[in-house]
Structure 1
Amino acid sequence: MTELELTDLDADHQLLELSGTTLLIFTSTGCSSCRWARLHLPDLELPVERLAWIDAGNNGGLVSRYEIFHLPALFAIKDGQFYGPVQAIMNPTALTQALNNALSRPAEELP
């Protein structure tokens, strides 16, 4: 699984250009759940082509646009389309089901 580090400067361009499914994840170094996600999500067998990480502490513009209130915050993006939040406990089965639920909603433009 590919991993990307995105910032306020390049996230929109990258996310619009990527084909396939991306799990967009906002994290922060001071968040223990975020550290767990960083360590373990890449090893889970998830139905995504890539994980895209955004450091919430350094990218306030994206945090504001995506209306991030808690971390980690996960979102589904497929073929440049935004499918909204992915809310699940951090295990493969729950995340896969939440991703499938998100991708079944109508697509929107990126925030």
Structure 2
Amino acid sequence: MELDDGTADAVLLAAPGRSLLIFTSVGCATCRLARQVLPAARLPVDRLYWVDAERSGGLVQRYGVFHLPALFLVRDGELLGPVQAPLREPALVAAIQAADGRASEELP
């Protein structure tokens, strides 16, 4: 599902379980790879949410996105922080599990 500055907060706050919020851009080759790889990966999340960084500058600023793609774990409407790993399933699974153990905070 695609999110933007106008929809992200309401959707993320209402989503039960774990959500992976993924910032991408059309001109980013690694982002195009993420759009191919992540939907097919068996990740320990309930859903993927995509944000076009070029069209959602407010979210980019609030989440402090500097490099694309940027991934963040949200659980039950609370931010668990960034997920930093190569775009390979085992590394992503481990990074998501590590992020899931962090203390949560309010969405930015």
State if a TM-score over 0.5 links the two structures. Answer: yes
Structure 1 counterpart of 2:102: 105
> Deviation digits for residues 27-60 of structure 1, max 9, x if unmatched?
0000000000001110011111100000000000
Counterpart of 1:63 in structure 2: which amino acid? V
Structure 2 counterpart of 1:16: 13
1:55 paired with 2:52, answer yes
Deviating 4+ runs (over 6 angstroms): none
Structure 2 counterpart of 1:69: 66
Structure 2 counterpart of 1:6: 3
Structure 2 counterpart of 1:46: 43
> Deviation digits for residues 11-39 of structure 1, max 9, x if unmatched?
00000000011010000000000000001
- Length, aligned pairs only: 108
Q: Which runs of 5+ in 1 are unaligned?
A: none
Q: Which runs of 5+ in 2 are unaligned?
A: none
Which TM-score applies when normalising by structure 1? 0.96
Partners of 2:15 and 2:69 lie apart in 1 by: 22
